[in-house]
Amino acid sequence: MSAAASTLTVPAPTARAAVRPATTEHPAVKWTLIGVSLLFLALFLLLPLVAVFYEALRKGFDAYVNALAERDALASIRLTLLAAGIAVPLNLVFGVAAAWAIAKFDFRGKNLLITLIDLPFSVSPVVAGLIYVLVFGLQGWLGPWLQEHDLKVIFAVPGIVLATIFVTFPFVARELIPLMEAQGREEEEAALVLGASGWQTFWRVTLPNIKWGLLYGVILCNARAMGEFGAVSVVSGHVRGETNTMPLQVEILYNEYQFAAAFAVASLLALLALVTLALKTFVEWKTRHESEALPPEMPGPAQNTIVGSKR
Amino acid sequence: MSNPVAPPAAARRRNVLPGFGLSLGFTLLYLGLIVLIPLSAAFIKTSALSWEQFWAVVTTPRVLASYRLTFGASLVGALINAVFGLMVAWVLVRYAFPGKRIIDALVDLPFALPTAVAGITLTAIYAPNGWVGKWAAAQGFKIAFTPLGIVIALTFIGLPFVVRTVQPVIEDLERELEEAAASLGASRLQTFLRVILPAVLPALLTGFALALARAIGEYGSVVFIAGNMPMQTEITPLLIITKLEQYDYTGATAIAVVMLVISFVMLLAVNLLQWWAKKLTGREA
């Protein structure tokens, strides 16, 4: 596909052997680059992916199923689902609210707000866990009060949920803000002028416009929520069957030299990663598809922000 | 809902959309409760120390060794990713080959794969009895449980950053410029070095900075492969956890503040780079 674009260049006068257009590389260079790239990706991406499933099934399929049916493993799966089940909807509501305020209105300090929303991405997961210990831990600000009322946040489920919310905080907002900014306000304004209420405008006009961007953010948010390790590890306390999420269960089994069991739980998380990648690719394809279907004077704003989206 | 449809009285075009107060209020409240107040706890806790005390805690030999390792390994990992990430992005945009779309999707695997899974898997591969580790052992060197293993984990974790920031820029490169360079007599290599590379450079640096920032804070994928020997293979985030487990909250928080300040500097650098890239190419990097 790349060579076609350059046919306009004047062919070299000595046409014989090498009629290679001047804006493509020599085939040897091209195939070397492809070869080295594929080797690099095979070594760093494919090999680990294969290794997870190989190690998980090493002791046979029965051992694999038994490891997953084990009580603590099931408890860790439940806790992971619970933490993601709380963190993702909360960050979804936040993301929509933040994008609405930032994209549809003008106010001072907007850029600062966007930077602050991105902040959790640049904080080390370990530090993310630590700051909640400083607020809710026994030595922390609210520690004495919590103890008085017999409430536990750190080394308990609420701490895990809070840490998960923190590390997945920006995902939905950062997908929606550029998308809604690119879409502008006209459609919502038209709906209001035609007599729709604010909520009707949101549900019938805004939401259909942002649905793929929203889904995209939720997919990434969920993957991180279920896979977070560092932040959750600090606040969990590692109580077996109670405060272990799946990644923490993987760690415990691994440190006890139960490698096959550790990789069995890890393989579930790897499957989640593959499903995430598949869904993500599907949403990217879908947005590209829909924006191409639009008339040319209305370029789909989703394309710029979602396809080639970073992080 | 505090903003009912207002008559267009003011000279400036008024915004008729509702919900500004509600959405911004909720945004600020949630941001404050989840992010800003907890983050401030680290700084407030540390401010109880005098400057000398703080300095003494964050510059003990063991902590200094952890900085050296964390930054050194992160830098090497980010550099590897800059070189190979640029190459992978180029290959994915410019060349056609079988399996390209699957490979393109697979590039995001390090974002999607939980870090603990990456950690134990890389350890299994690079440990002395693993697929690659066995080969290394036969050559007489170790990969896992040495700084080399840490570099490999950090390369894995930072891989998508450079590819995904550089890829859209290469897609947008104007082929006419390359044709012009070629018709003016530039060789392909000269065109690459003088025309393509300068256009890609801001995005490449942004990707490099993002990979570096991520690597410095990384914990899950490193702890398993690192070996975690104090002074040798102990990264800074692990040191924070070690101090927490010894109930040394002050020490852990002081080191966390150092890491936070570094994160903020990196964030600022990334924002400046993106601003530069936008100015240069007219699009988001």
pLDDT, block means (10 residues), chain B with 285 residues:
45 73 96 96 93 94 95 96 96 93 94 95 94 92 93 96 95 88 88 90 93 94 92 94 93 95 90 83 56
Average pLDDT over residues A256-273: 95
Per-residue pLDDT, B16: 81
Residue A134, domain extent: 60-306
Identify whether residues A107 and A33 lie together within a single domain.
Answer: no
The band of A310, judged by pLDDT with boundaries at 50, 70 and 90, is very low
CB contacts, 8 Å: A38 with chain B: 103
- Is A10 a member of any domain? no
- Is A286 a member of any domain? yes
How near does any CA of chain A get to the CA of B63, in Å? 16
Per-residue pLDDT, B276: 84
- Is A127 a member of any domain? yes
pLDDT in tens, A44-90: 999 999 999 999 999 999 999 999 999 999 999 999 999 999 999 99
Give the residue among B155, B136, B153 at the shortest CA–CA distance from B88. B155
Q: How many residues does chain A have?
A: 311
Q: Please determine, for residue A6, whether its predicted confidence score (pLDDT) is greater than 60.
A: no
Identify whether residues A37 and A79 lie together within a single domain.
Answer: no
CB contacts, 8 Å: A308 with chain B: 164, 167-168, 171
Sign of CA dihedral B144, B145, B149, B154: positive
Q: Please determine, for residue A287, whether its predicted confidence score (pLDDT) is greater than 50.
A: yes
- Is A294 a member of any domain? yes
User: Residue A153: helix, strand or coil by DSSP?
Assistant: coil
Per-residue pLDDT, A277: 95
DSSP string across A253-301: HHHTT-HHHHHHHHHHHHHHHHHHHHHHHHHHHHHHHHHHHS-TTS--T
Domain range annotation of chain B = 65-281
Mean pLDDT of chain A: 87
Give the residue among B104, B211, B201 at the shortest CA–CA distance from B157. B211
Identify whether residues A117 and A264 lie together within a single domain.
Answer: yes
The band of A19, judged by pLDDT with boundaries at 50, 70 and 90, is low
| H-only helix segments in B32-60 | 37-47, 51-58
**B contact test, residue of A80, A126, A268 with most B CBs within 10 A:** A126
Strand ranges, E, within B7-114: none
Identify whether residues A301 and A165 lie together within a single domain.
Answer: yes
How near does any CA of chain B get to the CA of A53, in Å? 10
CB A220 within 8 A of CB A272: no
Identify whether residues A195 and A250 lie together within a single domain.
Answer: yes
Give the residue among B262, B255, B261 at the shortest CA–CA distance from B215. B262
- Is A13 a member of any domain? no
Work out the percent of chain A whose per-residue pLDDT is above 70. 87
Greater confidence (B278 vs A137) lies with: A137
CATH of the domain at A100: 1.10.3720.10
One-letter identity of residue B249: Y
Report residue A43 as tokens. 């070594």
Identify whether residues A121 and A44 lie together within a single domain.
Answer: no
Per-residue pLDDT, B13: 58
Work out the percent of chain A whose per-residue pLDDT is above 90. 75
Per-residue pLDDT, A289: 84
CATH value of B65-281 in 3.90.780.10, 2.10.210.10, 3.40.50.170, 1.10.3720.10 = 1.10.3720.10
Which residues 36-75 of A are in CB contact (within 8 Å) with B? 36-38, 40-41, 44-49, 51-52, 55
- Is A20 a member of any domain? no
Report residue A194 as tokens. 């035609």
Q: DSSP class of residue B48? A: T
Identify whether residues A223 and A155 lie together within a single domain.
Answer: yes
- Is A30 a member of any domain? yes
Sign of CA dihedral B242, B130, B102, A261: negative
Question: What ipTM goes with this model?
Answer: 0.89
Which residues 231-290 of A are in CB contact (within 8 Å) with B? 233-234, 246-248, 250-251, 254, 259, 262-263, 266, 269-270, 272-274, 276-278, 280-281
- Picking from A38, A56, A74, the residue at the C-terminal end of a domain is A56
Domain tally, chain A: 2
Average pLDDT over residues A147-151: 91
Report residue A55 as tokens. 């190690």
Q: How many residues does chain B have?
A: 285
- Picking from A56, A71, A98, the residue at the C-terminal end of a domain is A56
Q: Determine contact: B110 vs chain A, CB below 8 A.
A: yes
Q: Please determine, for residue A303, whether its predicted confidence score (pLDDT) is greater than 50.
A: no
Per-residue pLDDT, B280: 74
Alpha-carbon gap, residue B136 to A216, rounded angstroms: 41
